[in-house]
Structure formats: structure tokens, C-alpha cells
Structure 1
Amino acid sequence: MAVESFSQDTVSNLVPRQSSRRSHTLFVALQKEIVLGILAPDRTLTELDLAQRFGCSQGTVREALMQLNEEGLVKRQPNRGTRVAPCPADDARALLNLRREVECAHLDRVVARTDARLVADMRALLDGMRNAARDGDEYALSVRDRAFHTRLFEAADLPLVTPILTRCLIHAHRFKILNSQPNRALSETAERHLPIVEALEARDRARLHDLLAHHIATIVDFGPDLTGGPTEGET
């Protein structure tokens, strides 16, 4: 019988778990490789190969691949196996527009529910991004970045919408990473979240809207505004 040979870490604990501990840890490991492009788009993945590589059972692999399929990072087809999903620009553009609508349309609810605990959580996640940037850990930075935006939106108390945002976030980050140049601006990526925290702490809804809209529309060190035009408050 295969023996599980990988373990959880702090990053794994930040990713919401929807399966057993062992398959979740494998899910996070594979998610990392897909987001960073180590497992390239359209690459074939087999349960047997992954089980041998990670020293786990094929059942554990199957469960992890099912979760990746639900997240849109792989495509599982009957009798045709599993492939890493593509990451086209048209999808990224549509998801960025959807993300901006989700994050920016409910800020009245967010501001109304802002308290010291929310601000403290946001500052802690910002510090985590800074630490990841300092360590040159792009995946850890991405996980904490996604957790930052998810935590902010959770204050709106719209739990049926949150999964839509989390899907937008993972694919936006993957698209950015796959299309960025080497020596990406990790510190700048972390620090651009500071004004968002400050606007939230001030309960300044208008500034928070403008900052988030600009933040979403522009991708650090990739460049273009993929949403197709200026955001509110921009010229």
C-alpha cells in the first residue's frame, strides 16, 4: 500500500479544504505547479504517475484531481484522462470583468460590517504577502493575495457569491504568472494592497471602490488593462 509522503504547511492551511487532509495536501501541491506553470497547459496527468511521484494512493490522487477539475484547473474527460486546463486571454478578460463586478458592487455592505477584527485580518494577510515577497515565494504570495480579497469580500456576507470570486481569483493569478516576465515585482504586488487596507480602516467607501477597481484592472508587471477600458474614477 502506498504511504503518504507529503505534509501540510502554512500555505495549505490558507486554502479552503473540501476533502480529506491527504488529498487536500496533494491538491495544494498540484494547484501550485499549475498556477506557476510547472505543469503546463494541456499537459496530460495520470493517476498512476502522480501516485508514484507523491507516494500516495490513486484514490487520493483521484480526489485531488476532482477538486482541481471543480476549480477549472484541469479537465477530466471520460476515457480520455486528465489534462491541465488552458489559460486563454479571453477567459482571463471575462473573469476580470466578473471579478470587478463582484468585488466592487457590494462595498456598502463591506464598509458597514468593517470592524477591528476585519482590519486586523487584512493587515495580517498583507504582512504575509510581504514576507512571501521577501522570501521570493510567488505561490505563497498568490495564496495570501487571494485570501486577502476573499476575506474582504466575506464581510459583505454574500456566501453564495464567494465561490464565484475565489474562482475568478485563482485564474486571474494563474494568467498573470504565466504571462509575466522573469524577475516579477513581488514586493510591489504586496505593497499595492496597503492603500486598500487604509481605505477600509477609514471606512471610505468611495476611495475603496476606486482603489479596488484600479487594482483589479491593472496587473503588476504584466501591464495591460484586460477589462477593456478605464475604471470609475480613472482618466
Structure 2
Amino acid sequence: MAVESFTSMTVSDVTPRRTSKRSHALFEALEKEIVLGTLKPEQALTEMDLAQRFECSQGTVREALMRLNEEGLVNRLPNRGTTVAPCHADDARALLHVRREVECSYLDRVVARADAMLERDLHDRLNAMRNAARDGDEYRLSVFDRAFHRRLFEAADLPLVAPILTRCLIHNHRFKILNAQPNRELEATAERHVPILDALAERDVETLRELLSHHIATIVDFGPDLSNTGESA
């Protein structure tokens, strides 16, 4: 399938800003390094070292680390400092099941509220995934992949539940990237979303639920199987 190149969507278009620009930029940089494994699980981090490395104040570092702590990507403990969060299969499996419960249980609400804007937004995110895959940028692909699923769930209008999905998504993707086989088919990862869009366009709740459930269970097709069902895509 040809890669769409017209989308102008960038990472910042789908990443919410809740802090200052500098701390947000640092948060994004550190999130990328944690997800890709540049910063290793359980590696110690210090505000002073990060401030020197990124040429910013320790206050900016502290703000970014606090947000990473909220996302579960670092652990900040009194008198013990900050470390990169571990990345264990048991945690990933549990979050995978939570994610499937959250995303698949409320699709009747999603379909009831689906409109042309939702479909357009999802297609934009799919095209951004295709472009990232074409560029061989697995991290950017994961950003838009997560944005696709957040936007789909947004239609359920359950804002108190959405942060739970956000945490599941980041940790599922981190585990997948850290444990995946090299030279993965990134374009296949993007195209896995097409059947979901087709079922949404048909407003077929049951097919959408089946497809999405399988999609989530096989998120690690190219790495360890966390589904406990033996499914494969």
C-alpha cells in the first residue's frame, strides 16, 4: 500500500502540553530515551547530571521527572533518588489485560458517537504512522500509534478512564520495543490499524470489538507473546 505523504502531523500535534515548553521538551526527550532503552531500566538519574547534559535548570529537570513519575516511567523515592522504571513481562502482561478491558468494553459508546471528524483524525494518525514507518522511525511510529488509540477511546467520552489507557499504552509500547526482534516490519505495524478503521466506518460494534481485542492481544507479534492465548497476527 502506498504511503500517504500529505499529512503534516507532528509529534507535538498529539502530545498534550501540561508544563512549560522547556520541561515539556525535556520530558519528551527523556520519554524517548526510556522507551527506546537508551536509558536502561533501573538506571539511576540525577537532576544535576541531566541539567548539565541538557543545559537547563534543575527546576526544569525536576518538573520533567515529576511528569515521568506520573506516567510510571521513572521511580522517585525520598532519600533514594530517581531511577528508570523497570520493564518486566509480568507488569506488561497485566497492563495489556487492563488495556484490552478499557478499550474493548465501551466500543458501543465509541460507535454511537463516531462521526466524520473522528474518522478523519484516525486516518491522519494512520498516515503519520505510515510516514514514520517509511522513515524507519520506530519511536515516532509508537507516538502516533498511541495517539490513534487514545483518539479512538476519546469518543467514548470517559475522561476519568482515559489516563489509565494512556499509561497502558506507553508501557505496552516500551515493552514491545525493548523486547522486539531487530529489523521489525514497521509498515506492517501501521497497516494493522486499517481493519479497525474499516469496522468503525461500518459502525459494526461486534466486529470492531473482535478486531481491536485481537490487535491488542498481539501487540507484541514481533517480540514476546504476552497474550497467553497463542494468538498470532
TM-score, reference length from structure 2: 0.92
Query: How is 1:10-29 mapped onto 2 (pairs within 5 angstroms)?
Result: 10-29=10-29
How many residues align? The count is 223
| Aligned residue identity for 2:72 | G
Find the aligned partners of 1:10 and 1:156 in 2 and give their Cα distance: 25
How far the C-alpha of 1:66 sits from its partner, in A, is 0.4
1:107 to 1:230, Cα distance in 2 relative to 1, 3 A: farther
Indicate the SS of the match to 1:16. Answer: coil
| Aligned residue identity for 1:54 | F
Cα deviation 1:92-124 (Å, max 9, x = unaligned): 010000000000000000000110000000000
How far the C-alpha of 1:220 sits from its partner, in A, is 3.0
The reply on whether 1:176 has 2:161 as its aligned counterpart is no
| Aligned residue identity for 1:169 | L
How far the C-alpha of 1:165 sits from its partner, in A, is 0.2
| Aligned residue identity for 2:222 | D
Matching residue of 1:211: 211
The reply on whether 1:222 has 2:196 as its aligned counterpart is no
The reply on whether 1:125 has 2:125 as its aligned counterpart is yes
| Aligned residue identity for 1:154 | E
Contiguous gaps of at least 5 residues in structure 1: 1-8
Maintained 8 Å contact 2:179/2:224: no
Maintained 8 Å contact 1:188/1:220: no
Matching residue of 1:140: 140
Find the aligned partners of 2:143 and 2:209 in 1 and give their Cα distance: 23
How far the C-alpha of 1:10 sits from its partner, in A, is 2.8
Find the aligned partners of 1:212 and 1:154 in 2 and give their Cα distance: 15
Contiguous gaps of at least 5 residues in structure 2: 1-8
Matching residue of 1:186: 186
Cα deviation 1:153-195 (Å, max 9, x = unaligned): 0000000000000000000000000101111221110000011
| Aligned residue identity for 2:174 | R
Matching residue of 2:61: 61
Q: Please tell me the root mean square deviation across aligned C-alpha atoms, in Å.
A: 1.5
Matching residue of 2:105: 105
TM-score, reference length from structure 1: 0.92
How far the C-alpha of 1:12 sits from its partner, in A, is 3.4
Maintained 8 Å contact 2:71/2:167: yes
Maintained 8 Å contact 1:36/1:177: yes
Runs of 4+ in 1 over 4 A off after TM superposition: none
| Aligned residue identity for 1:65 | L
The reply on whether 1:80 has 2:68 as its aligned counterpart is no
How far the C-alpha of 1:229 sits from its partner, in A, is 2.8
Find the aligned partners of 2:79 and 2:12 in 1 and give their Cα distance: 31
Matching residue of 1:70: 70
1:151 to 1:50, Cα distance in 2 relative to 1, 3 A: same
Find the aligned partners of 1:133 and 1:168 in 2 and give their Cα distance: 22
Q: Identity percentage over the alignment?
A: 70
Find the aligned partners of 1:76 and 1:127 in 2 and give their Cα distance: 37
Find the aligned partners of 1:228 and 1:160 in 2 and give their Cα distance: 29
Cα deviation 1:35-76 (Å, max 9, x = unaligned): 000101011111111111111111000000000001000011
Find the aligned partners of 2:137 and 2:213 in 1 and give their Cα distance: 26
